[in-house]
């Protein structure tokens, strides 16, 4: 079968199944079964597909996924992270748009503890949104920072999606986890600058709120009790990776142990919320493992059919530069992000993009950071950005989707700016991983 026809049929069938609302993993499995039968060789092809699927998930490097998920679920279900947000609010004082700035700081801290964009956004929305609206904050400075900083969890360890990306794309998971830190901190800093600029230029969008008079110790005591100890969890995970004393799996296990210890120390861990955390971890892990098995098989069928090598040869014939190819990949990812979820973006594009990137000399790690940034942007891109609907679920009925779209727009511009910086200055993604000890 001609590779163009194979690629067209497989991608076309996949898009058609996804358009019907079929879950991503099952859509890929259906296409894989047909592809294995007709391309890999009938019954033998189906047997080979089953073997490949089993081998793809029976992989030690995938172990950090459930461990990172469990770590975040423990901190989320035990409500330990909520206390950290209240502590941050106390120490941020006398700045324009104070609560919006608190949102960014709190969202960045919780991102380093949970790794879940949905949990991060929901927690920030339920904790800070009511007080901001009650104090007269404009939706742009109330909802915008919540969604923008909630999405940062895509970049900062313990990001389970970064582990998934590394596994599917064959990128070092340790390096990819560390590579997202600098862009994430840059995003947080630019968000604060944007908020301060808007609140200073139009102070009526973020009315000043009176804080009770507190001594220095009263202001900083909750931070010392609830934030500094929790930051040790992040230090354990990242420090062990940077020093080379732990693999990603070991670091994730250490993070789980630290999360349990912190929850017990704060007397917040019960059998009930621990059971909930474990069940949520199991649900997410099973879903991710199905996705990995389906994606790897899809990639192998495309490679066996000659579609991957044929497409690479076609694009090489156009004599495009690596930068032009990279920009083309980014535009495709941004377009897909408007309509499909992040996992679907990975599964559809990785089997094509990664071999092409390696063929033209695009750095794996840079492309990995670009993937994470574009998926983060996709979380906030109308009309189907997932966090837009999470936000809709925690705001009053009087706020419309149009207002939510408008609120996130300035922060999307900042994210696109950082994405452009990573393309222009690849060291933003590769500098910190260079310190990893082998």
d(CA 69, CA 256): 9
Mean pLDDT value across residues 360-389: 86
This prediction's pTM:
0.80
- 248 and 237 in contact (C-beta within 8 Å)? no
Q: Report phi then psi at 97, rounded to 5.
A: 65, 45
Between 65 and 190, the more confident residue is 190
Mean pLDDT value across residues 111-120: 75
Report which of 197, 173, 219 is spatially closest to residue 68, judged by C-alpha positions: 173
d(CA 156, CA 169): 18
Between 80 and 221, the more confident residue is 221
Report residue 210's pLDDT band, with 50, 70 and 90 as the boundaries: low
The four Cα atoms 143, 345, 49, 314 give a dihedral, to 10 degrees, of: -170
Which of the residue ranges 41-45, 72-76, 169-173, 191-195 would you say has the lowest mean pLDDT?
41-45
For residue 37, the SS3 value is helix
Residue 3: the pLDDT is: 67
Q: Is the pLDDT of residue 293 over 80?
A: no
Name the range with the highest mean pLDDT among 51-65, 154-168, 422-436: 422-436
CB within 8 A of 325, min separation 6: which ones?
A: 315, 356, 357, 360, 362
- 168 and 293 in contact (C-beta within 8 Å)? no
Mean pLDDT value across residues 60-81: 78
Report residue 193's pLDDT band, with 50, 70 and 90 as the boundaries: very high
Report residue 186's pLDDT band, with 50, 70 and 90 as the boundaries: very high
Average pLDDT, the chain: 81
Report residue 187's pLDDT band, with 50, 70 and 90 as the boundaries: very high
CA 246 to chain centre: 23
d(CA 393, CA 188): 24
Mean pLDDT value across residues 80-97: 77
d(CA 429, CA 407): 28
Give me Rg for the CA atoms of the chain. Answer: 22
First and final CA of the chain: distance in angstroms?
Answer: 45
Burial of 334 (0-12, 13-18, 19+ CB in 10 A): middle
Q: Is the pLDDT of residue 67 over 90?
A: no
- The Cα diameter of the chain in Å comes to 76
């Amino acid at each position: 079968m001609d590779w163009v026809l194979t690629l067209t049929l497989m991608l076309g069938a996949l898009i058609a199944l996804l358009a019907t609302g079929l879950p991503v993993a099952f859509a890929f499995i259906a296409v894989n079964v047909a592809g294995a039968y007709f391309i890999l060789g009938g019954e033998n092809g189906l047997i080979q597909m089953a073997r490949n699927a089993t081998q793809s998930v029976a992989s030690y490097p995938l172990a950090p996924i459930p461990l990172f998920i469990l770590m975040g679920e423990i901190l989320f279900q035990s409500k330990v992270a909520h206390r950290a947000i209240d502590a941050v609010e106390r120490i941020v004082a006398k700045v324009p748009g104070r609560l919006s700035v608190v949102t960014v700081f709190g969202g960045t801290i919780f991102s380093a503890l949970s790794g879940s964009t949905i949990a991060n956004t929901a927690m920030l929305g339920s904790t800070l949104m009511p007080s901001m609206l009650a104090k007269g904050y404009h939706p742009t400075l109330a909802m915008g920072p919540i969604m923008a900083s909630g999405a940062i969890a895509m970049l900062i360890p313990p990001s389970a999606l970064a582990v998934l990306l590394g596994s599917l794309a064959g990128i070092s998971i340790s390096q990819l986890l560390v590579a997202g830190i600098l862009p994430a901190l840059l995003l947080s800093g630019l968000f604060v600058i944007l908020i301060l600029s808007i609140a200073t230029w139009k102070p009526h969008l973020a009315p000043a709120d009176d804080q009770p008079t507190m001594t220095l110790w009263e202001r900083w005591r909750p931070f010392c009790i609830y934030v500094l100890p929790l930051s040790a969890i992040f230090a354990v995970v990242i420090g062990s990776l940077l020093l080379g004393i732990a693999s990603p799996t070991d670091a994730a296990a250490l993070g789980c142990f630290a999360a349990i210890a912190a929850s017990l120390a704060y007397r917040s861990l019960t059998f009930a919320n621990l059971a909930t955390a474990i069940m949520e971890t199991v649900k997410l892990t099973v879903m991710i493992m199905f996705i990995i098995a389906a994606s790897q098989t899809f990639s192998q069928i495309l490679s066996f059919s000659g579609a991957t090598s044929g497409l690479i040869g076609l694009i090489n014939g156009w004599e495009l530069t690596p930068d032009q190819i990279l920009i083309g990949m980014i535009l495709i990812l941004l377009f897909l992000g408007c309509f499909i979820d992040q996992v679907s973006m990975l599964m559809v594009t990785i089997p094509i993009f990664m071999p092409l990137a390696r063929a033209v000399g695009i750095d794996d790690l840079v492309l990995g950071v670009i993937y994470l940034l574009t998926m983060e942007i996709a979380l906030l891109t109308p009309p189907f950005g997932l966090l837009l609907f999470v936000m809709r679920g925690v705001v009053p009925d009087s706020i419309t989707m149009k207002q939510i779209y408008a609120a996130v727009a300035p922060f999307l511009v900042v994210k696109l700016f950082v994405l452009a910086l990573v393309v222009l200055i690849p060291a933003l993604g590769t500098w910190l991983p260079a310190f990893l000890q082998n």
